[in-house]
Amino acid sequence: MVLRKYITVSLMNDTLSIKSILPAQIGASQLGDSRDFSRAVTSDTTMFARVNTALGLLNPTSLLIGHYPKSKKQAVQRSILLLKQRFSRVDSGSGAVLAQLDPMIKLTCDIPEGVTQAELDGMLLTMAGLLLENNLDRWHQLCEQQA
């Protein structure tokens, strides 16, 4: 009984604090404000969910994390990180919600057996550098379906 109460309390208070990187400034001193993502319930049993409402209740930011271990059907470990942001468009006069846009950015890691953490770290840093270089030019090109 006591253990159950302890687990419930720790899960409810467990949050992730995530700092944004400011465009064109990569370094420990150039991180933006942090946002706290509290645990949330999800209908997908394979995903862990966290939510932040710093942009308002109509614009929640969701962070979904899923892990799929190596199996007979899947020769590699797969881990997924998904960031979803709702952008609600509201009528300035009536306050009615006119539209809801739900873009998402997903990072999928397929990790075969034998790959080291250092090798994966190097790949992630290369990917981040590619997307952030030249004041987000590569990222903008990707969004505009350019090579």
Domain extent listing, the chain: 2-115, 116-147
Q: What is the pLDDT of residue 137?
A: 87
Beta bridge partners of 37: 16
Architecture of domain 2-115: 2-Layer Sandwich (3.30)
Biggest CA pair distance of the chain? 59
Q: What is the pLDDT of residue 62?
A: 94
pLDDT at 6 over 90: no
Q: What is the pLDDT of residue 32?
A: 66
Taking the model in full, what pTM does it have?
A: 0.75
pLDDT at 16 over 50: yes
CA distance to 39, 75, 96, 107, per residue, from 71 (Å): 28, 6, 48, 21
Q: Average the pLDDT over 2-31 and give the result.
A: 52
